Structure 1
Amino acid sequence: MTGALPIRQVAFFVEDVRSAARAHHATFGSGPFFVADNIPLKSAVHRGTERLLDHTSAYGQWGDVMVEFVSQNNLGPSPFRDLYPEGSGRWGMHHAAIFVDDVDAEIARFAAKGAACALRAEMNDGFVFAFADTTATLGLMTELYAPTQALIDFYAMVAQAAKDYRGTDPIHTIRMT
């Protein structure tokens, strides 16, 4: 990919995605939020080792950028726990997401610049995403994913929901397959 890679999403690792989304909505007017519980993954390779990664995410619009709140439902190592260890009681900004043409090529490009792949995961529908560990230079991970039509449509739906929002409950549960 050539040129600038604009941030498409900022994400925070939190204890409870619904509480975090409600608090963010109350403070910043973001949302509404679409919560996907226990997002199914076909595979999750964390730092070279296949691992279980059960996570829940809330997605909403914050101005021109999507905001995500993510929690980990299972114990054990993960790219989230790389920054916020289990039992530490610490939570905060975890990653910024960018669209790339080829996830695997970008993993290699980031690795060549010293940002190892912290996670490469595939959802059941074949959608691939990865985290490049850019914490040494940026203080957070960088999420990489290709802009498939389904992803573009999801981003558009979240942005349109923000434009159409009329003050009802800001939390809506969705299901990812």
Structure 2
Amino acid sequence: MSRIFGPLRQNGFVVKDVERALTHWTDVMGVGPFFLIDDQPLNDFEYRGRPAAPSIRVALAHTGGVQIELIQQTNDEPSAFRDFLRAGHEGLQHVAFWTTAFDADMARARRHGLEVLQSGRSGSGAPDERFAYFTVQDHPGTVIELSETRGRKGALFQAVEEAARTWDGTDPVRPMAALLDRR
């Protein structure tokens, strides 16, 4: 457990081909079901302090106490995801900590010398769906994301985790809308 942010809650993998990654995770790793959205809304997105509009496909699943996030960027807008791939990497790009006290945890991150690399609001764009990725990275896979998990996004993440507990291996990739419609 992080002495700064608490338990690690997500491993975020940046991939070139989300379908190929989904096949690996469901068939080889036995993790699922994944919930896929082909155009993840990103609101008020900033990369290095400037507005940007990356288009990303996202798939979420859960294994144990950790969410698996697969991210494929589909345009060339500035983002940490694009930079990761351009540097020749594919795979674990970030780890995420979840919070219901976003402002306090952002202040704590800054006190520890972390600087925001990219930020915005995900999902519906509600005020309680903020995220921030920090620039500190000693090697690939150690970018830190702080993700606010109150409201609708928190309920969505809980539904992904619940689906994993009872998954019998069938229907391994499902539309994210199936969960959003229930929330």
* TM-score in terms of structure 2 length: 0.83
The equivalent residue for 1:17 is 18
Aligned residues: 174
Q: Any residues of structure 2 matched to 1:72-91 within 5 Å, and which?
A: 72-85=73-86, 90-91=89-90
CA distance in 2, matches of 1:138, 1:90: 8
Distance 1:91 1:137, change over 3 A: closer
Q: CA deviation at 1:147?
A: 2.4
Is structure 2 residue 120 aligned with structure 1 residue 121? Answer: yes
1:158 aligns with 2:160: yes
Q: Is the 8 A contact 2:5 2:97 kept in 1?
A: no
Q: CA deviation at 1:4?
A: 5.3
Query: Among 134, 137, 158, which residue is 2:136 paired with?
Result: 134
Q: Decide whether the 8 Å contact of 1:22 with 1:171 is kept in 2.
A: no
Q: How far apart in 2 are the matches of 1:161 and 1:101?
A: 22
Per-residue CA deviations over 1:23-78 (Å, capped at 9, x if unaligned) read: 11222211100001111122111111111121111000122211010011110320
| Helix, strand or coil at the partner of 1:96 | strand
Q: Is the 8 A contact 2:76 2:82 kept in 1?
A: no
Letter in 1 for 2:136: T
Tell me the distance in 2 between the aligned counterparts of 1:82 and 1:115: 19
Give the match for residue 95 of structure 1.
94
Unpaired segments ≥5 residues, structure 2? none
Rounded Cα–Cα distance in structure 2 between residues aligned with 1:167 and 1:137: 34
**Aligned: 1:27 with 2:3:** no
**3-state SS in 1 of match to 2:161:** helix
Single out whichever of 131-140 and 10-19 deviates more from structure 2.
131-140
Compared CA separation, residues 34 and 154, structure 1 to 2 (3 A): same
Q: Say which is worse superposed, 129-138 or 20-29, in terms of deviation.
A: 129-138
What's the secondary structure of 2:35's corresponding residue?
strand
The offset of 1:134, in angstroms, is 2.7
* Counterpart residue identity of residue 145, structure 2: E
Q: Give, as a single letter, the amino acid of the residue that structure 2 aligns with 1:5.
A: G
Structure 1 residue 15: deviation in Å? 1.1
Q: Quote how far apart the aligned CAs of 1:13 are.
A: 0.2
Percent of aligned pairs with the same amino acid: 29
1:57 matched to 2:58 = yes
Matches of 2:139 and 2:101 in 1, distance apart? 22
The code of the aligned residue for 1:148 comes to R
- AA of the residue aligned to 1:74: N
RMSD over aligned CA atoms reads 2.4
TM-score normalised by length of structure 1: 0.85
Counterpart for residue 168 of structure 1: 170
**Is residue 103–residue 130 contact of structure 1 (8 Å, CA) maintained in 2?**
no
Q: Once the 2 structures are TM-superposed, how far is the Cα of residue 114 of structure 1 from its aligned partner? A: 3.2
